């Protein structure tokens, strides 16, 4: 195989590796072949320590474990490489003298892996991470020369981009995982959907509501309501939210919908945008958030929250919650079999204790405090 073809195959493998860390070992094998040697190691360093991404067969699994647990902190060459100008190719003795390496704690590891000479350097990856590559030859091999430096210089920009891509993917994946874990801790049901209603994520509470298939359900992983008309109304709100999510200044709900259920009170669905620049949502798609409330499951929990936050009585908390559900004062009076005057008196106390001036402010406050949604 010609050197050009070999390099092309190597570059292709480099840009595949960020998607799967298991591929970095194959990359190190190809890099070693490109330099006609037996040894290559790739690692990423940060404040949290060092991660050996991939290495050739001269670094056995046991040696790799020893490096990760102990030797990485005494690797003079890797440590010094991060202090020199980044994105620059060096021979080993340009950074650390051979005599210093021979006295270092890491020398036992180097001898076991037959790493006498090195060409490589450190690469800036962003996010306080630095990538380090070392290509090695043994004690009895010919020294690296200018041709090897030029080959490494050709490889450096591609390696830097590939490692930076990996770091970016992992940061986004961590953010996504943290977001999903936080959503799963919520007692309320939350779904993230795209413009067509395709479910991107549903937390545990939402999965339970969808599983019952009463009012709201998943059809081929698309959220749907029991009636076609309600489904279309929901999709229109989702579409509005997706459009609003492209505008950085807009993060408020675009609307709410009551979804009828058989033999039970309606589900209430609040539809809100997720901003395109929201770092917690690692996606280029336009996304909407559905906050779904099943009254029978959340009334008691919500009322306890309102009583704790505002010092409401049980009756006052029930009144505030009912208003947030869209009931009128007359509806509430009829439900509890009290007079309208009694309900109005309770409302005055609720407004005073919550420091709100009118019903709309109260409803917004209740939604913020009990659904977890903060516009």
230: left (phi over 0), alpha (psi -120 to 50) or beta: alpha
Distance CA 201, CA 288 (A): 11
Inter-residue contact 64 to 24 (CB < 8 Å): no
Q: CA 51 from chain center: how many Å?
A: 20
Q: What is the pLDDT of residue 326?
A: 78
Could you tell me the two tokens for 95?
A: 């950074």
**Mean pLDDT of residues grouped by 10 in the chain (375 residues)?**
80 88 93 95 89 93 92 90 92 90 90 93 89 94 94 93 85 67 73 92 90 94 94 94 64 79 89 64 71 76 87 92 86 91 94 92 83 47
Phi-psi region of 20 (alpha: psi -120 to 50; beta: other; left: phi over 0): beta
pLDDT at 373: 43
109 and 52 in contact (C-beta within 8 Å)?
no
Domains of the chain plus CATH, in order, are 3-174 (3.30.450.80), 186-293 (3.30.450.20), 295-375 (1.10.10)
- Letter string b/e over residues 192-222, b meaning 16 or more CB atoms within 10 A of that residue's CB: bbbbebebbbbbebbeebbeeebbbebeeee
The structure's pTM equals 0.54
DSSP alpha helix (H) spans, 17-60: 24-34
pLDDT of residue 126: 81
For residue 250, the model assigns a pLDDT of: 44
For residues 330 and 316, give the distance between their C-alpha atoms in angstroms, rounded to a whole number: 15
pLDDT value at position 6? 85
Which residue, chain included where needed, has tokens 């690469």?
123
Residues 62 and 83: their CA atoms lie apart, in Å, by: 29
């Amino acid at each position: 195989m010609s050197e050009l073809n070999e390099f092309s195959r190597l570059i292709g493998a480099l840009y595949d590796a960020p998607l799967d860390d298991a591929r970095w070992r194959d990359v190190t094998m190809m890099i070693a072949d490109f330099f006609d040697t037996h040894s290559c190691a790739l690692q990423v360093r940060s404040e949290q320590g060092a991660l050996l991404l991939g290495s050739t067969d001269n670094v056995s699994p046991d040696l790799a474990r020893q490096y990760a647990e102990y030797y990485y902190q005494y690797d003079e060459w890797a440590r010094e490489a991060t202090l020199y100008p980044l994105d620059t190719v060096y021979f080993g003795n340009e950074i650390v003298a051979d005599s210093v390496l021979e006295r270092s704690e890491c020398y036992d590891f180097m001898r076991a892996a037959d790493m006498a000479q090195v060409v490589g350097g450190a690469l800036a990856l962003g996010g306080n991470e630095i990538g380090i590559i070392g290509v090695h030859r043994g004690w009895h091999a010919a020294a690296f020369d200018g041709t090897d430096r030029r080959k490494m210089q050709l490889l450096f920009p591609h390696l830097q981009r590939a490692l930076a891509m990996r770091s970016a993917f992992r940061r986004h994946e961590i953010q996504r995982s943290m977001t999903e874990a936080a959503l799963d801790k919520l007692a309320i049901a939350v779904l993230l959907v795209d413009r067509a209603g395709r479910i991107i994520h549903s937390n545990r509470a939402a999965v339970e509501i969808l599983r019952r298939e009463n009012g709201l359900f998943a059809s081929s992983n698309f959220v749907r309501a029991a009636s076609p008309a309600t489904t279309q109304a929901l999709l229109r709100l989702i579409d509005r939210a997706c459009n609003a999510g492209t505008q950085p200044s807009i993060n408020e709900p675009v609307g709410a919908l009551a979804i009828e259920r058989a033999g039970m009170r309606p589900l209430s669905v609040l539809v809100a945008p997720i901003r395109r620049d929201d770092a917690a949502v690692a996606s280029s798609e336009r996304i909407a958030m559905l906050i779904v409330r099943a009254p029978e499951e959340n009334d008691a929990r919500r009322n306890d929250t309102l009583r704790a936050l505002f010092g409401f009585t049980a009756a006052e908390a029930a009144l505030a919650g009912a208003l947030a559900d869209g009931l009128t004062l007359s509806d509430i009076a009829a439900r509890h079999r009290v007079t309208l005057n009694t309900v109005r008196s309770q409302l005055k106390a609720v407004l005073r204790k919550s420091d709100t001036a009118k019903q709309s402010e109260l409803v917004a406050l209740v939604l913020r405090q009990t659904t977890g949604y903060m516009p």
